[in-house]
Structure 1
């Protein structure tokens, strides 16, 4: 089975123009972020890559926890680290700072949740696509 996701973009103008992005469930303006001397309107490729990695990871983990019968709430901050060397921008690293709050906290559930938190990162489709290009790390807290 194969899935096709369709996304359309429009861009009129030069480097600091503002474009648009339209997909089935997403519609936004796009531009270069202010950190890279752009107008910072709407979103940008760096945020979208970070968002894809974060949402894929947290949804994968939620599904894995559900399959094992562990009930939890998940909260996460993800940081995307971009290096600039000699004017070349390179996405180097994504750090997921994850907190798992177990509804039924036991040592057994904690160990399973910890194992799944690291496994989910390696099984997520987006993490697989980034492998070898962008380092993805998980910093985990379980309460």
Structure 2
């Protein structure tokens, strides 16, 4: 089996100390970054917590969409995700990500419901970002299917 290596490059700059801000650029991503206000930062642009949640959510929804397509199930998806960060003694730990996925099936078949629900959980197991987080961040899937 041939191995293909994909390389992603990110450039970043930072102006000052902890409560200042920086910029990142990686492909189509080009934004300001800082510590969020919730963590006593300036809240400029995005932050690592949002970006980790965004990476996990987009990887998950793309994985699920791909699996549904390969299974010939036509559906639309809606995802709301939450990232839970615990703080103890000024140490921040990303503990949990909760994905609340709604699958809107175009065909009202019991078989499609069963397959779609199974794939909602399987997509989290195969998502590259979920795999990278496994053992460190708990990922929970709540699935709702609408016909």
Q: Give ranges in structure 2 of 5+ residues lacking alignment.
A: none
1:63 equivalent in alignment to 2:66: yes
1:139 equivalent in alignment to 2:146: no
Alignment TM-score, normalising by the size of structure 1: 0.99
> Residue 10 of structure 1: SS of its match in structure 2?
strand
Give the aligned CA root-mean-square deviation in angstroms.
0.5
CA offset digits 1:59-102 (Å, max 9, x no partner)? 00000000010000000100000001121100000000110000
Matched residue, 2:131: 128
* Pairs aligned (count): 143
Aligned structure 1 segments of 4 or more residues deviating by more than 2 angstroms: none
Matched residue, 1:117: 120
Alignment TM-score, normalising by the size of structure 2: 0.96
- Which residue, 81, 102, 106 being the options, matches 2:105? 102
